[in-house]
Every structure is written in structure tokens, then in C-alpha cells.
Amino acid sequence: MSYYQQHVFFCTNQREEGAECCNNIGAQWMRDYVKDKVQALGLSNEANRIRINSAGCMNRCDDGPVLVIYPEGVWYTYMDESDLDEIIVEHLQNGRVVERLKI
């Protein structure tokens, strides 16, 4: 059994000025938003063990911003808080992949 029930990695990579990257689209802020929301919903407690982390470049820049959820290995793109809220509710709480955001 894995230490975490689910582990969410956000690409928060920052490339040189002008180069396309997830952090230019607010990835760090969005990661912080999800971390706060998961904690507020009680999903990161001993019973649920969901962890939200930052990651460096995950080589999916053309699909960015991106996040991946393990152990399922499901990759998502997102544009705003409502997309992230949908991922939290559907995937993290209810175990259903959000097909419209999957990459």
C-alpha cells in the first residue's frame, strides 16, 4: 500500500523569461488553491491521505498547465478554479475521472 491514497503533482516549472511554461499561467497559485481547498475539505487527513505537491517540468508544456494524480496516473489540464474544483470533487472525492480535462 502506498503511503498516500492519492498524490497530486502540479507542474510549477518556471522557464527563462519569455519561454512557455506552466508557471507563466499561474500554476503555483493554482497548486496553492488546491492544497488549501483539499485541507479545508478534510481530504488531507489521516483517513484520506491526499497530498498536493509541486513538481518541476513534466515535459507536457504543449498541454499546460498540467497536473497528474497518482496512483491512477491520470493527467489533467485546467484553466481556472472551477476546473480544479471539478477535479477535486469528481476525482479526489468521488473517484471519477474528469474526461473533459484529461490529457
Chain centroid, CA 76 distance in Å: 7
Each residue's pLDDT tens digit in the chain (103 positions)? Answer: 578 899 999 999 887 777 778 888 889 999 999 999 999 999 888 777 899 999 999 999 888 899 999 999 999 999 999 999 999 999 999 999 999 999 9
Q: In what order do the strands lie in the sheet with 74-77?
A: 50-55, 6-11, 66-70, 74-77
The pLDDT value recorded for residue 24 is: 82
The grid cell for 5 is 491514497
Is the pTM higher than 0.95? The answer reads: no
The pLDDT score that the predictor gives to residue 75 is 98
Identify the helix (H) or strand (E) that includes residue 100.
none
